[in-house]
Amino acid sequence: MKPIIDLNKEYGLVFDGGGARGAYQIGAWRALSEAGVKISAVAGTSVGALNGALVCMGDLEKAGHIWKEMAFSRVMDVDDELMEQFFDGEASIREILKGLWKKLADGGIDITPLKELIHEVVDEEKIRKCGKEFCLLTFSVSDMKELDLSIEDIPEGLLEDFLLASAYLLGFKNEPLHGKTYIDGGAVNNVPTASLLKRGYKDLIQVRIFGPGRVPKTTIPEDGSLLEIEPRVGLGSILEFSAKRSRQNLKIGYYDAKRALYGLTGSIYYIEETREECYYVEIMKLLSELEKTEYRFKLKLPIGCSDRELFYGMLEASAKLMRIPKYNIYTADELWNETSRKYETLTDEGKEKLPKFVHAIAKLRKDYKMNLKGRSFLKLEDYTPAEIEYLVDLAGELKAKKKAGIKGHSLEGKNIALIFEKPSTRTRCAFTVGAQDEGGIPTYLAGNEIQLGDKESIEDTARVLGRMFDGIEFRGFEQRYADVLAEYSGIPVWNGLTNEFHPTQMIADMLTIKEHFGHLKGIKLAYMGDARYNMGNSLMVVCAKLGMHFTACTTKSYFPDEALVAQCREIAAKSGGTITLTEDVTEGTKGADVIYTDVWVSMGEPYTVWDERIRSLSPYQVNRAVMENAGSQAIFMHCLPAFHDLKTTTGKEVGEKFGLTEMEVTDEVFESAQSVVFDEAENRMHTIKAIMAATL
């Protein structure tokens, strides 16, 4: 998973007040620290100020230990056993008040233990030298004035006193400090966001525990950002200073911070979203509209909620009833599988007691399986977004099995014909190894060896091969050949590349992008170079299908076909994607997540076109300036082979003739850390394996 915030930035951290709920903030800090979030300033009120001091000290383990070992008597002069009995519901309020009445009548609850705790754990010198700005809020009753103090405003040696002053809750014995009386800063400002804003910090992270107090309105500047981390469940009373409650809140804070940091979905559970909306639409087609309405009502969901929202409502409620552990990060499929597994272990009597939606979600798991058997894979227009996503995810699963050394059997005994009119490295190897990994038997057939369309018609060849093989891969020039093979063979045909389309490459590209960013929807992809043929066309189609933002960045004469552009824009309007054509490199690549290019002259084209291509496309070379314009988050992709040096015969010949050492991409970019071209190349095999396994 990758954080949704920019880890190159430094952030201001805001902790509100909330007494015993403060353990939540330390749990959140742990998640922020693990993610590599840089904190440059901390502002806190009440317990938030105490936790802020711990953050500035930088000892996460110590902070966690303090809260794990928390007790009522560490904060107040009270009996731990009696207080625990009260919060566990074993002692009445009358018993508690009887014990506290004298303390309250004597001016409030003695918090000498809290004073001692602060003295024990706070290292003022370390805080002053930590390099982070530290601010706390309190209220001076003596002056009737809010005090927004940075560490520089507090005289040396008095930090402990002001931390205590910030935490004087009503009901606590309030002893004057240096001749003045203070109360908890939450009375005037329990969420000190403005404290950092006025000191120039624009990128902020708020960790809320919703203690009582005033919450002033604040406005984040347009060039700033705010990440909010807050609980969706109760954290207990602000006075429940027990180890049991604190340990629970540490865990909740940790996972809630992960939810915010990584954009996790789910209301009850923490779910990494790996699917697009279309996936849930396909699943929920198995339910009638009447069933959907019934389940929405039962789960108290809005009548007009989406299929995705209904699916998650059913899944999370079912998982809770199945007692699936909450504090873990699941994908939707993992949680679904675990819920269905637990359901199957129940007795018939146990199942009868469950709501109907639980039976429905279990049945959906059993009934839903993307069925692509017998389908050809010729161009992406023939496949729905959900089907494309299914192939990407299946490829990811098969890749994981390959890495784990698990041999597959999905193609056991299947004979596969590999027809190549064009030479190939990646496609041929991917089909050969992919077939063998799953128990298939590949047979290589060069185009000139089988008289394809020469002495025998394509139709007749197709009918012959269809009688002998279970599937056919075709890599050639004309898309028509692939279409005819599919029509007349009666078996699945897979397009390994034609002049018009390269669909198998697209699945590899989408897997590579998803592995890097964690999602596909909303990704910005800029394609540079000749966008008229297979790569430009296929990338435009797949981006439109999956709700991505595609930009063809090239000279106008190399824009994709207008009819295909119009078709893709119509598709993108439904998916949430966009299609942009531009000649402006700066505009076309600004903020792109993916910079993609291909060779300027395709296989089969004569040398005579090199001069014109180089003159027209040189402004669209992928170089360092392009990558910097895109941003540090951008990755570079290329379907290969690439002319990034002079180590090939063609590259050397063209280079000598035109005075070039590199063409569509510089060697600097190709070999950079942003380049994922060899991940992409490897993924050809995993994705082609998935296509064969899904369709045979």
Angle at 326 between CA 321 and CA 328, to 5 degrees: 140
Axis-axis angle for helices 426-437, 677-695 (nearest 10): 50
Q: Quick one: which of 51, 56, 7, 44 has its CA closest to 28?
A: 51
- 510 neighbors 520 (Cβ within 8 angstroms): yes
* Tokens of residue 447, six digits: 């185009």
Which of 365, 502, 519, 613 is catalytic? The answer is 502
Q: State which H helix or E strand residue 472 sits in.
A: strand 471-475
Which of 56, 543, 553, 639 is catalytic? The answer is 639
CA dist list (Å): 225 to 5, 41, 204, 518: 9, 15, 6, 22
> How many other C-beta atoms lie within 10 A of the C-beta of residue 669?
23
CA dist list (Å): 153 to 68, 122, 147: 32, 18, 10
Which of 21, 365, 426, 684 is catalytic? The answer is 684
Q: Is 65 a catalytic residue?
A: no
Taking the alpha carbons at both ends of the chain, their separation in whole angstroms is 32
Residues paired with residue 146 on neighbouring β-strands, in sequence order: 139
Three-state DSSP state, 415? strand
- 205 neighbors 14 (Cβ within 8 angstroms): yes
* Tokens of residue 376, six digits: 């050809």
Which of 248, 505, 553, 613 is catalytic? The answer is 505
Q: Quick one: which of 642, 479, 641 has its CA closest to 561?
A: 479
Which of 208, 259, 475, 532 is catalytic? The answer is 475
Q: In this structure, are strands 415-420 and 441-446 parallel, antiparallel, or unpaired?
A: parallel
Q: How far is CA 554 from the centre of its chain?
A: 31
CA dist list (Å): 150 to 132, 217, 459, 597: 11, 21, 82, 52
Q: Is 502 a catalytic residue?
A: yes
Q: Is 25 a catalytic residue?
A: no
Which of 598, 621, 644, 686 is catalytic? The answer is 598
- Can you tell me the distance from the alpha carbon of 472 to that of 465, in angstroms, rounded to the nearest whole number? 8
Q: Is 639 a catalytic residue?
A: yes
Q: Is 232 a catalytic residue?
A: no
Q: How far is CA 197 from the centre of its chain?
A: 29
> How many other C-beta atoms lie within 10 A of the C-beta of residue 628?
11
- Can you tell me the distance from the alpha carbon of 502 to that of 505, in angstroms, rounded to the nearest whole number? 6
Q: Is 454 a catalytic residue?
A: no
- 13 neighbors 205 (Cβ within 8 angstroms): yes
- 442 neighbors 416 (Cβ within 8 angstroms): yes
Catalytic site residues?
Answer: 475, 502, 505, 598, 639, 684
